[in-house]
Amino acid sequence: MEPRWGFVACPGMTATLSTGAGAPMTAAQEAELKQLAGDALEPDAFGPHLTQEEAARRIATLRAKLKLQSEPPHTQ
């Protein structure tokens, strides 16, 4: 089963689509998504045929995941 990626809004992040919603992801998005997928140990998050919109959503999701992982665990 393929994971479902949801959009996560991150402060300061703006997903700009330079050529339209159905356009292939940019080279910058591809590089960032590859890096984030590796850092988050989620290699399935990267796909070479994603649109700009899909790539922006996955980038935002992985950024949020990595931010949560970098915070100290909650203590009681």
In a domain, 18, yes or no: no
State residue 20's pLDDT score: 61
In a domain, 1, yes or no: no
- Tell me which residue of 36, 27, 76 sits closest to 57, measured CA to CA: 36
In a domain, 49, yes or no: yes
**What tens digit of pLDDT does each residue of 28-41 get?**
999 999 999 999 99
Total domains in the chain come to 1
Q: Is the pLDDT of residue 10 over 60?
A: no
In a domain, 50, yes or no: yes
Q: What is the pTM of this model?
A: 0.68
In a domain, 75, yes or no: no
In a domain, 52, yes or no: yes
State residue 70's pLDDT score: 86
In the structure, what pLDDT confidence band is assigned to residue 4 with cuts at 50, 70 and 90?
Answer: very low
- More confident site: 20 or 69: 69
Range of the domain at 33: 27-67
State residue 72's pLDDT score: 80
Distance CA 27, CA 61 (A): 19
